[in-house]
């Protein structure tokens, strides 16, 4: 994929960067909150895509590390630990859980992978409900956050999204990327080429989970609360998946526009008719199933071509 | 030194005995052919050696170490490469990317060296084409290009000639010989076209219903009564 | 702990398992013919329960009667569902098909669930007063006996359908060897659609019966689907007897867990079972 190959791309990216940096200064905190929400979803989406695009495995349980990060951070803060300590502990928790579940998940093949990860989410949901002493049960945990936290979260989120985009591109070009794509291309052949599929899958899962988990930490930091619904609920579990699949291989501009539209729409739904949120998500999932990658007309075909200018067949 | 020594290898799929007490020696720098009718166990033998299947009994000594039960990627890293009876391209990747992935075993290879391999396999024009779109013959050569990039000590080629025309068979035979001379690769090659196999292989092993029924040079095996009986009625025994 | 309460729990567990079993057999048939793990299966059950509940509230008809109206409705629903959605996805190439089926059935399940929560935005259940019958020390509610009877009768009818009717023979033939079956004139598409209808109807019946057992919440769809998935994978994909055995086992475990631990954990049992079973299944596919 091409990032910043042509002058046009650079201009667009620079403009986008400038606009985004200016936003918090000129708009209300509601807008900042909204954009934060969108960027959280975008980060989760990129994290899902990291595993999905190159290995072909659908980790439907990407909201689990998100929730772990969100809850761990909230737990730490509510016990009056310092912010730094809270972050460190949360990241350790994320790594621990993703490594643990990763070792089991990567042994699953095909449809079982998706079903297994889905079961994990429900299991996490149940745990969040029942382990009241840890998670606050149904109510969740509320923390006091500093006034300007939404603004710092804004910049951190934007930065992380950019980092993950670049990282995904870098991985794709690297040997690691080739190994992962060969796993998707033909796992049996890959193993005869000397590639340890399991290890590679765990590594990419941990990387993706790390970003999803940090998104969770940030979510708690500016929202001031965490609940079972906000961390393992349907929206946070499926919206990133929908966005990743409907948008296919990435470029800079198109997915961000698409992400914004989808997230804005869901915001509107959530605030007006909550029941219809699930309805809309369901419809979008069905559309993603039937018409992946075709839905966004905005997509510039230039972005789909790899370096040698040839359209790769399964882009 | 023997690159490969197989002792008492047996394998069954449920009640069906696919391989029974198979034994095999492969010397350094040699090409040995495994022949036998369909169902004689050739592919299963290869799957067991490469680790794709886990053997139920017997030893597979690769450079002195028993690799029976090892995972495929471990065996591959020890220097074994294989091709498949039905060509298996890495889907979603170009021809060049297929070969590049194979070359990762030996560290980073330059684009030139990869292209050189493609040229040797007559695939340089398809370097950036999606591997899944290639013709059958080219897919066969892609399999070969991949293993060439791996520079294996031991190579298993599963019926590489089937589906190819005479000139393609000749090209492939030359490449196999070249691998032996350049990398010191020892090769096990399976197939039916005994006449073509004789042009590359020094030793022959004949399988029938999972058992080794003959072993030796081409003439020895060809004139073996047990082999003749097996092949009677098969039009594969060519001159 | 005396024996009597334990036996009551056991009976309840078998009953619960039997109800799950209806849904499980439905999904087992669907998987057997089309290799589809229909993630909307549980949502259909909940929708059927919701529709029946509304009808009962509105008309006062008794549940069994309503069931006889609603279940055939869901046969049609399943049939149409297959024709409109599943069929399209089955025609995709192999790589895309699995993804599409997972996301598509997932999405449909979500849509169905949201419809349920719009119709009935709270937990719902049905309570009938029945005179209990006593067997010595054990008191069993007649209701439960009735439910057991319904489950048993349905199983018998099912057996009849699968082994004695034209459809059943065609179904078994296709599961056995799809190509030959088609060569002999069996319309694969038609059989698939009918099977989806049958499977969905079974799930609907399970959902309606569940109304009598405990309160159903609108978002129970997915937990039920995952329970059923755990059952059929545990019992052997495509095996009816296996699914029945596994569902009874699950029903009993859930009941005992709910009693001795907490109801919250009883739901997690099926998830743990699913995770374990899926792990074993995948490992088993690896090298042999």
pLDDT of residue A3: 46
First to last CA, chain C: 47
Q: Which residues of A touch B131 (CB under 8 A)?
A: 185
Nearest neighbour of A111 by CB, restricted to C37, C109, C262: C37
In a domain, A83, yes or no: yes
Q: Which residues of B touch A193 (CB under 8 A)?
A: 73, 76, 81, 101-102, 104-105, 146, 150
In a domain, A89, yes or no: yes
CA atoms of A45 and C263, how far apart (whole Å): 34
Per-residue pLDDT tens for A188-207? 999 999 999 888 989 999 99
Residue C40 near residue A289, CB atoms below 8 Å:
no
What is the block-wise mean pLDDT of chain A (315 residues), using blocks of 10 residues? 52 70 74 83 87 83 91 87 87 91 81 86 85 74 74 85 83 89 89 91 92 92 84 85 69 56 69 73 84 46 32 32
pLDDT of residue A206: 92
CA atoms of C63 and C139, how far apart (whole Å): 23
Q: Which chains reach chain B with 3 or more Cβ–Cβ distances below 8 angstroms? A: A, C
Sign of the torsion formed by the C-alpha atoms of A249, A251, A252 and A256: negative
In a domain, A32, yes or no: yes
Residue C113 near residue C27, CB atoms below 8 Å:
no
Tokens of A266: 């869901």
Tokens of C21: 């079993």
In a domain, A242, yes or no: yes
CB contact under 8 A, B104 and A195: yes
CB contact under 8 A, C287 and B53: yes
Tokens of C218: 């609108």
Token look-up 């699930």 returns: A278
Residue B196 near residue B14, CB atoms below 8 Å:
no
Cβ neighbors of A55 (< 8 A, separation 6 or more) are A180, A181, A183, A184, A200, A201, A204
Q: What 8-state DSSP symbol labels residue A149?
A: H
pLDDT of residue C5: 77
Q: Which chains reach chain C with 3 or more Cβ–Cβ distances below 8 angstroms? A: A, B
Domain total of chain A: 1
Look up the pTM and report it: 0.81
CA atoms of B224 and B220, how far apart (whole Å): 6
Residue C56 near residue C67, CB atoms below 8 Å:
no
Q: Which residues of B touch A191 (CB under 8 A)?
A: 51-52, 71-73, 76
CA atoms of A95 and A213, how far apart (whole Å): 9
* Domain membership of residue A202 as a residue range: 7-304
Per-residue pLDDT tens for B103-160? 998 888 888 999 999 999 988 888 888 888 899 999 999 999 999 999 999 999 999 9
**Of A201, A274, A96, A175, nearest to B100 (Cα)?**
A175
Domains present along chain C, CATH in parentheses: 3-286 (1.10.3470)
Q: What is the mean pLDDT of residues B27-35?
A: 90
Nearest neighbour of A282 by CB, restricted to C102, C108, C118: C108
CA atoms of A284 and A278, how far apart (whole Å): 10
Residues belonging to chain A with any Cβ–Cβ distance to chain C shorter than 8 Å: 56, 58, 104, 107-112, 114-116, 118-120, 122-123, 126-127, 129-130, 234, 238, 241, 245, 275-279, 281-290, 292, 314
**Of A30, A50, A78, A17, nearest to A172 (Cα)?**
A50
Sign of the torsion formed by the C-alpha atoms of B225, B222, B214 and C287: negative
On whether any CB of chain C is under 8 Å from the CB of B133, the answer is no
In a domain, A309, yes or no: no
Mean pLDDT of chain B: 88
Of all residues in chain C, the one with the smallest CA distance to A287 is C104
Listing DSSP states for A50-105 in one string gives HHHHHH----TTTHHHHHHHHHHHHHHHHTT--HHHHHHHHHHHHHHHHHHHHHHH
CA atoms of B158 and B155, how far apart (whole Å): 10
Of all residues in chain B, the one with the smallest CA distance to C95 is B91
CA atoms of B91 and A180, how far apart (whole Å): 12
Domains present along chain B, CATH in parentheses: 2-87+152-231 (3.40.50.300)
Kindly report the CATH number assigned to the domain that includes residue A95: 1.10.3470
In a domain, A311, yes or no: no
Per-residue pLDDT tens for B145-200? 999 999 999 999 999 998 889 999 999 999 999 999 998 899 999 988 888 888 88
Interfacial B residues in 73-102 facing C (CB < 8 Å): 91
Asked which of A176-185, A300-309, B9-18, B224-233 is least confident by mean pLDDT, the reply is A300-309
Listing DSSP states for B81-126 in one string gives EE--SS----TTSBHHHHHHHHHGGGS---HHHHHHHHHHTT-GGG
Percent of the residues in chain B that have a pLDDT greater than 90, as a whole number: 39
Three-state SS string over chain C comes to: CCHHHHHHHHHHHHHHHHHHHHHHHHHHHHHHHHCCCCCCHHHHHHHHHHHHHHHHHHHCCCHHHHHHHHHHHHHHHHHHHHHHHHHHHHCCCHHHHHHHHHHHHHHHHHHHHHHHHHHCCCCECCCCCCCEEEECCEEEEHHHHHHHHHHHHHHHHHHHHHHHCHHHHHHHHHHHCHHHHHHCCCCHHHHHHHHHHHHHHHHHHHHHHHHHHCCECHHHHHHHHHHHHHHHHHHCCCCHHHHHHHHHHHHHHHHHHHHHCCHHHHHHHHHHHHHHHHHHHHHHHHCC
pLDDT of residue C128: 65
pLDDT of residue B156: 94
In a domain, A78, yes or no: yes
- CB-defined contacts A:B, below 8 A: 89
**Residue from C86, C97, C102 to probe the interface with A (highest A Cβ count within 10 Å):** C102
**Could you list the pLDDT tens digit for every one of the 288 residues in chain C?**
567 778 888 888 888 898 999 999 999 889 888 888 899 999 999 999 999 988 888 887 777 888 889 999 999 999 999 999 888 888 887 777 888 888 899 999 999 998 998 888 878 777 665 555 555 555 666 777 778 788 888 888 888 888 888 888 888 888 777 778 777 777 888 888 999 999 999 999 999 988 888 888 888 888 899 999 989 888 877 677 888 889 999 998 888 888 887 777 777 888 888 888 888 776 654 333
In a domain, A310, yes or no: no
**Ramachandran region, residue A132 (left: φ > 0; alpha: ψ -120 to 50; beta: rest):** alpha
Per the DSSP assignment, residues forming a β-bridge with C138 are C135
């Amino acid at each position: 994929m091409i990032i910043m190959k042509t002058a046009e791309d650079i201009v667009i990216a620079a403009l986008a960067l400038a606009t985004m940096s200016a936003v918090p200064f000129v708009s209300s905190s509601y807008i900042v909150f909204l954009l934060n929400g969108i960027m959280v979803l975008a980060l989760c989406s990129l994290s899902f895509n990291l595993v999905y695009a190159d290995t072909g495995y659908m980790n439907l349980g990407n909201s689990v590390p998100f929730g772990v990060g969100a809850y761990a951070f909230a737990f730490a803060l509510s016990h009056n630990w310092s912010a730094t300590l809270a972050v460190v502990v949360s990241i350790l928790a994320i790594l621990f859980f993703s490594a643990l579940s990763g070792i089991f998940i990567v042994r699953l093949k095909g449809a079982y992978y998706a079903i297994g990860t889905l079961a994990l989410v429900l299991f996490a949901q149940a745990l969040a409900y029942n382990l009241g002493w840890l998670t606050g049960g149904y109510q969740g945990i509320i923390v006091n956050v500093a006034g300007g936290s939404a603004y710092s979260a804004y910049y951190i989120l934007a930065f992380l999204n950019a980092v993950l985009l670049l990282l995904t591109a870098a991985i794709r070009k690297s040997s690691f990327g080739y190994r992962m794509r060969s796993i998707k291309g033909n796992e049996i052949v890959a193993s005869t080429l000397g590639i340890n599929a399991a290890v590679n899958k765990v590594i990419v899962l941990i990387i993706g989970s790390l970003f999803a988990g940090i998104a969770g930490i940030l979510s708690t930091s500016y929202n001031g609360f965490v609940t079972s619904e906000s961390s393992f609920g349907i929206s946070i579990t499926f919206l990133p998946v929908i966005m990743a699949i409907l948008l296919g291989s990435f470029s800079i501009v198109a997915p961000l526009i698409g992400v914004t539209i989808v997230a804005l729409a869901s915001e509107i739904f959530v605030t007006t008719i909550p029941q219809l949120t699930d309805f809309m998500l369901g419809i979008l999932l069905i559309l993603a199933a039937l018409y992946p990658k075709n839905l966004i007309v905005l997509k510039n075909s230039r972005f789909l071509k790899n370096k040698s200018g040839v359209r790769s067949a399964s882009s | 030194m023997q690159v490969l020594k197989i002792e008492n290898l047996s394998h069954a799929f449920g009640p069906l005995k696919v391989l029974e007490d198979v034994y095999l020696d492969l010397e350094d720098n040699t090409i040995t052919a495994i022949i036998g009718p369909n169902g004689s166990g050739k592919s299963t033998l290869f799957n067991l050696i490469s680790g794709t299947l886990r053997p139920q009994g017997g030893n597979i000594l690769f450079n002195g170490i028993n690799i029976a039960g090892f995972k495929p990627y471990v065996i591959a890293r020890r220097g074994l490469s294989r091709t498949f009876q039905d060509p298996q391209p890495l889907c979603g990747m170009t021809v060049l990317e297929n070969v590049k992935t194979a070359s990762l075993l030996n560290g980073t290879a330059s684009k030139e060296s990869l292209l050189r391999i493609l040229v040797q396999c007559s695939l340089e024009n398809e370097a950036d084409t999606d591997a899944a779109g290639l013709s059958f013959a080219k897919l066969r050569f892609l399999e070969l290009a991949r293993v060439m990039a791996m520079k294996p000590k031991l190579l298993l080629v599963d019926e590489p000639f089937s589906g190819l025309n005479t000139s393609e068979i000749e090209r492939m035979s030359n490449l196999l010989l070249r691998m032996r001379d350049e990398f010191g690769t020892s090769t096990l090659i399976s197939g039916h076209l005994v006449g073509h196999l004789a042009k590359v292989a020094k030793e022959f092993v004949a399988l029938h219903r999972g058992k080794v029924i003959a072993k030796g040079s081409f003439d020895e095996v060809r004139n073996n009564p047990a082999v003749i009986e097996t092949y009677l009625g098969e039009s594969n025994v060519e001159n | 702990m005396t024996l009597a309460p334990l036996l009551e729990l056991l009976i309840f567990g078998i009953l619960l398992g039997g109800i799950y079993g209806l849904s499980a057999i439905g999904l087992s048939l669907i998987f057997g013919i089309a290799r589809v793990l229909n993630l909307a299966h549980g949502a259909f059950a909940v929708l059927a329960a919701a529709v029946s509940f509304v009808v009962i509230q509105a008309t006062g008809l008794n549940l069994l009667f309503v069931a006889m109206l609603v279940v055939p409705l869901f046969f049609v629903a399943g049939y149409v569902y297959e024709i409109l959605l599943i069929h399209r996805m089955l025609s995709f190439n192999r790589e895309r098909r699995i993804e599409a089926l997972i996301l598509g059935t997932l999405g449909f399940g979500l849509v169905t669930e949201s419809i349920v929560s719009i119709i009935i935005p709270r937990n719902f259940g049905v309570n009938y007063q029945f005179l209990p019958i006593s067997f010595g020390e054990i008191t069993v509610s007649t209701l439960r006996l009735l439910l057991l009877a319904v489950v048993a009768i349905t199983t018998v009818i099912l057996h009849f359908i699968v082994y004695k009717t034209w459809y059943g023979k065609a179904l078994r033939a296709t599961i056995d060897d799809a190509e030959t079956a088609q060569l002999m004139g069996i319309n694969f598409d038609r059989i698939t659609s009918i099977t989806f209808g049958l499977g969905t109807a079974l799930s609907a019946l399970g959902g309606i019966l569940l109304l009598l057992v405990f309160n159903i919440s609108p978002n129970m769809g997915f937990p039920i689907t995952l329970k059923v998935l755990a059952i059929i994978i545990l019992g052997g994909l495509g095996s009816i007897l296996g699914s029945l055995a596994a569902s009874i086992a699950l029903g009993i475990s859930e009941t005992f867990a709910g009693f001795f631990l907490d109801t919250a954990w009883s739901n997690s049992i099926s998830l743990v079972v699913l995770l374990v079973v899926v792990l074993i299944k995948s490992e088993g596919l690896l090298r042999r």
